[in-house]
Structure 1
Amino acid sequence: MIKLFVVKCFRNLSYDKTISSLTEEEAILLSFYDENDHIKLPSGGTLHHFVKYRLGEEGVNEIMMLLGEKILKLSSAKEAKIDSTPLEASRYDKHADYNSHYECKMDKAHITMVGTYPVFMTHTKGVAGDSPELITHIEALKKMNADLDLYSADGGYDSFLNHSDIWYHLDAKPIISYASNAVIKKEGEEERINHWVNKKWRIGGDVHAPMENKLKFLYEIGRKEQVGMYLRNQNMRDEAFDEQYKKRAECEKIHGYIKGTVKFDIRRVRNQSRKLYSLLSFISYQLLVLTEMQNKVGDKNSFGRYF
């Protein structure tokens, strides 16, 4: 049934039309036949019930995690990136927020990719902030046992906490764009790091330990923002930062591929079902990508030849 829903998303049809569009060969490939080899297709209502009530958001999230983990195992990429993209609504939609940046009514999809492969997504309202979503993505990548060197994000995700969370939980370098008027934070300098480590010597602070150990110690005793200040200070001094940040440019291109392959908007979707259907479209795209990875197809994220 999950494969059948992928067909629905790829063909962008209603439930009933998806069923009626299947050829006999496709029905056999999807295993819709009985012990006597007679074709037995489910109804559109059965597919809808399976998707909305049997799977639901919880089931879809579990599938997304499983797919993300499999994609990570097959990918050799070591850099992750996160970005949000609009899920456009009708201009007459009374439930969707108007986003002045995108100049449309919309919800948002926050997508983490490793290399060019989408591994995790969260759904929010159209004017929700980007930054609060990052910790959910970090926790998901941690559960997937992601092995990363870099995790990039634009200025919408810039905060000291996000810097320290990426570094601590993923053991990856945070590559987060900072404002043009950003300054070096004194509290993030080595002298102040040593000051606070030494001040907490009674609970294990060791000023002679390597810097990594001192930062972990400060993070674990609650001085997460100070750790983030140190990490951002290092980025501001790093001449290679701009080059590393450029790798994030792939995000918008892949978002375009997703929108060109499956229905990735909230037009004509009931308000209470929008999160579910955006997640379903996302995992449908993940399944397509994973299939091509498993079959060692050269051009990933390119499904135009199937239309």
Structure 2
Amino acid sequence: MSKNSMLYKGVLFEDSFDNYLGRESTSICQFLYFLCIDDIAKHVERTFYTNKSWHFKYSVSSMIKLFVVKCFRQLSYDKTISSLTDEEAILLSFYDENGQIKLPSGGTLHHFMKYRLGEKGVNEIMMLIGEKILKLSQEKEAKIDSTPLEASRYDKHADYNPHYECKMDKAHITMVGTYPIFMTHTKGLSGDSPELIDHIEALKNMNANLEFYSADGGYDSFLNHSDIWYNLNAKPIISYASNAVINQEGEEERIDHWVNKKWKLGGDIHAPMENKLRFLYEIGRKEQVGMYLRNQNIRDETFDDQYKKRAECEKIHGHIKGTVKFDIRRVRNQSRKLYSLLSFIAYQLLVLTEMQNKVEDKNSFGRYF
């Protein structure tokens, strides 16, 4: 477990995460005291501020942590500020060089999150957190699924989804193991499959080292199979229909035929199968590569066991909704994407705090208030 030190009114205080593991309840601010996001704060300062020092009346990392408190306590901006005790304000580093507590107003926190960062900034922070989680995780298996962001039944902007029987938007979430890495937001009737390529690109930019990437039948297409395999060097574990058949164009004989046919472009029939598939993908025969990969899954007797690991998705989605406000009720239409992403990164930061402090019980926030 890590130790943290803090200089307050000329006195050096040291504390360890170990001291709070046995307690039945602990302030969420005490928990976040052990979260290190200095690199993320530096990125925000460089990217979303000018070089004028007067901008930094409040620490960027403190403002981000304060927003996590807002999401966790599910309070308004003003009530979040008034809910903080002096001790909690100190734990979040809201004090000046003289030790006087200096808290931002609710309006200042709102402006920082909605206008200073905005969707662009929140997406960049999500990527940075995802990258940090991947570095701390030993998991090699990713999974993607969508979950409803419920709206009021009277909401005129939200779509009614007959499958979920409610008005809603959708959150499409990629996890590695049980750790949330990346999210996109769409309307409630949007398809799942078109979102996959954005998640693949995000994982690629994070330098994710994966062996498997699982998805349900909503993502079943030849292009999705080949995109996962080519971009992430991972095996696609995508559920297929019960009446799925072997595609002849994806058989080894047809692969060789097309590699040989395109010999002028560099096709080598004697190359290993992986090289042949990579060659076909790069000359535009992506669907044929996907057919080959899907055929392999149909023949693979261990496929069902690999696919079962995807079952964690719904459990973690439910846990996110039980921990932070992860719906679109009472949120203005133009702000829904932003606030869904903000709630998601708040949960990510809670997970990151556990990982940085080597907490054994994953996603265990029940004892914090």
Which residue number corresponds to residue 56 of structure 1? 118
Which residue number corresponds to residue 291 of structure 1? 353
Q: Can you list the C-alpha shifts for 1:95-154, whole angstroms capped at 9, x where unaligned?
A: 000001100000000000001100000000001000000000000000000000000000
Q: Does 1:137 align with 2:196?
A: no
The 5 Å alignment of 1:1-40 reads 1-40=63-102
The 5 Å alignment of 1:1-307 reads 1-307=63-369
The whole-number CA distance in structure 2 between the counterparts of 1:305 and 1:19 is 21
Q: Can you list the C-alpha shifts for 1:276-301, whole angstroms capped at 9, x where unaligned?
A: 00000000000000000110111111
Q: Can you list the C-alpha shifts for 1:24-45, whole angstroms capped at 9, x where unaligned?
A: 0011111111122111111110
Q: Can you list the C-alpha shifts for 1:261-282, whole angstroms capped at 9, x where unaligned?
A: 0000000000000000000000
The whole-number CA distance in structure 2 between the counterparts of 1:251 and 1:152 is 10
In structure 1, the gaps of 5 or more residues are none
Q: Name the count of aligned residue pairs.
A: 307
Q: Can you list the C-alpha shifts for 1:224-262, whole angstroms capped at 9, x where unaligned?
A: 000000000000000000000000000000001100000
- Would the aligned equivalents of 1:96 and 1:125 in 2 still touch at CA under 8 Å? yes
In structure 2, the gaps of 5 or more residues are 1-62
Aligned-partner residue type, residue 139 of structure 1: E
TM-score (normalised: structure 2)? 0.83
Deviation, 1:182, is 1.2
Q: Secondary structure at 2:146's aligned position in 1?
A: strand
The whole-number CA distance in structure 2 between the counterparts of 1:268 and 1:228 is 43
The whole-number CA distance in structure 2 between the counterparts of 1:11 and 1:306 is 10
Aligned-partner residue type, residue 125 of structure 2: I
Identity of aligned residues (%): 89
The whole-number CA distance in structure 1 between the counterparts of 2:86 and 2:200 is 44
Aligned-partner residue type, residue 176 of structure 1: I
Q: Secondary structure at 1:124's aligned position in 2?
A: strand
Q: Secondary structure at 1:305's aligned position in 2?
A: coil
Aligned-partner residue type, residue 79 of structure 2: K
Deviation, 1:71, is 0.3
Aligned-partner residue type, residue 296 of structure 1: K
Q: Secondary structure at 1:278's aligned position in 2?
A: helix
Runs of 4+ in 1 over 3 A off after TM superposition: none
Work out which of the two has the higher radius of gyration on C-alpha atoms and give 1 or 2: 2
- Would the aligned equivalents of 1:257 and 1:302 in 2 still touch at CA under 8 Å? no
Aligned-partner residue type, residue 93 of structure 2: S
Deviation, 1:302, is 1.6
RMSD between superposed Cα atoms in Å = 0.5
- Would the aligned equivalents of 1:118 and 1:286 in 2 still touch at CA under 8 Å? yes
The whole-number CA distance in structure 2 between the counterparts of 1:302 and 1:257 is 9
Deviation, 1:79, is 0.3
The whole-number CA distance in structure 2 between the counterparts of 1:267 and 1:133 is 23
The whole-number CA distance in structure 1 between the counterparts of 2:302 and 2:360 is 30
